[in-house]
Amino acid sequence: MMFLMKNRVAGLAMVLALAGCEKPHTTPPVKGPAPVGVVVVKTQKVFITTELPGRTSPYQIAEVRPQIGGIVQQRLFREGADVKAGQTLYQIDPALYKAAFDSATANLAKAQASLQTIRLKTDRYRELVKINAVSRQDTDDADAALQQAEADVAANKAAADTARINLDYTRITSPISGRIGISTVTPGALLTAGQPAALTTVQQLDPIYVDIIQPSSELMRMKHALASGQLKRAGQDAVKVRLLMDDNTPYALEGKLQFSDVTVDQGTNTVTLRAVFPNPGHDLLPGMFVRATLEEGVNEQGILVPQQGVTHDARGQATSLVLGADGKVELRVLKLGEAAGDKWVVKSGLKVGDRLIVEGLQKVKPGATAVAVDAASAVAKP
């Protein structure tokens, strides 16, 4: 029995020893250049844009003041509402002005009746003097009386017109169409002609102005680039402008640059540009801060690269990896311009024909070898 157990132990030990001597079947790792997806750098037309701060201002603004004195009878508008040009805003008590107009009209009618009588008399004297029925002196006196009567009619007509104008001024109307503000007077207030305080203000908001502040140095740089031929005008019409609202949402409608100021602010060394925007929904209100993007020119030989091919180092410099002709990975430091959708405008650091690595960046580093493959293939491979 003891002998049998010893044989079993010995056999088991032999089996374990043989199992330990067997080597596992493993596949050695495949070494070689890492596959990376590349984009060949090419030139293309690039619109040069500049983002600048701006503030909205009314297209037109009118301060409403009385042209005659009197007591306000009615205020005929709702504050903050839209009004039309010629719409009555206030009614001044017209009693005195109506009486003055009636008196002037009556005086005019009296003068016109007197003129008619004198004209008939003068016509008769001119016929009678031909047959010596009246003296020449009487005819001359009749002519003088006619001229006097005509002058009286003209003077009374002017007085009647003035009285009518003053009566019309009792209705204070809006000089422009737009959004009306707060009223500074109420019914019962006494107004005087040409008073310094405005009764209210009307602002036209559609279209609306956006005043943009641009550094004079940037303006000069752009002019030099255009003059040298490096940039071309974006179009024959006014420069296109787009807006970014204060909450970073884009304004839906496009505006046009209307003019550039001819003087430089000595305190800030800036120039004011003015753009005009359609504003049918009154989304833009006077005094709002916005950011304006101006299309100032076109670079016919610009370079655009995908953003996924650009990274930033610890110092904040823009860098990219480029696959050289010898299969070696090179590090390039870039100078970037503005973003254009999902691409960057590259001012320096890349040239036409460079193979920019855009996929598989985690597999390589500067100095390593790599092989260019289709971008989708580079992503699929582990």
Both structure tokens of 167: 């009566």
Across the range 347-368, mean pLDDT stands at 88
Give the lowest-confidence range in 180-189, 256-265, 308-317: 256-265
State pLDDT tens for residues 209-236.
999 888 887 777 766 665 665 545 555 5
Across the range 237-247, mean pLDDT stands at 78
Strand duo 171-173 + 200-215: pairing: unpaired
* Residue 342 pLDDT grade (very low, low, confident, very high; cuts 50, 70, 90): confident
Q: Is pLDDT above 60 for 382?
A: no
For the chain, give the percent of residues with pLDDT over 70.
84
**What pLDDT does residue 224 have?**
67
* Residue 134 pLDDT grade (very low, low, confident, very high; cuts 50, 70, 90): confident
Contacts of 338 (CB under 8 A, 6+ apart): 48, 49, 50, 51, 345
Nearest in space to 89 (alpha carbons), one of 206, 198, 164? 198
Across the range 82-100, mean pLDDT stands at 96
User: Distance (Å, rounded) from C-alpha 298 to C-alpha 203?
Assistant: 37
Q: Is pLDDT above 50 for 305?
A: yes
Q: Is pLDDT above 60 for 9?
A: no
Across the range 119-145, mean pLDDT stands at 89
Across the range 98-113, mean pLDDT stands at 95
**What pLDDT does residue 233 have?**
56
**What pLDDT does residue 58 have?**
94
For 114-147, letters b (16+ CB in 10 Å) and e give ebeebeeebeebeeebeeeebeeeebeebeebbe
**What pLDDT does residue 4 have?**
40
Size of the chain, expressed as the number of residues it contains: 382
**What pLDDT does residue 214 have?**
83
Across the range 9-38, mean pLDDT stands at 56
pTM of the full predicted structure? 0.65
Q: Is pLDDT above 50 for 93?
A: yes
* Residue 199 pLDDT grade (very low, low, confident, very high; cuts 50, 70, 90): very high
Mean pLDDT score of the chain, rounded to an integer? 83
Both structure tokens of 90: 């206030």
**What pLDDT does residue 297 have?**
67
**What pLDDT does residue 248 have?**
83
State pLDDT tens for residues 248-278.
889 999 888 777 766 787 888 888 888 899 9
User: Distance (Å, rounded) from C-alpha 306 to C-alpha 358?
Assistant: 7
Both structure tokens of 4: 């049998």
Across the range 130-145, mean pLDDT stands at 88
Domains defined along the chain, listed by start:
34-47+301-380 (2.40.420.20), 49-59+203-298 (2.40.30.170), 66-91+172-197 (2.40.50.100), 94-169 (1.10.287)
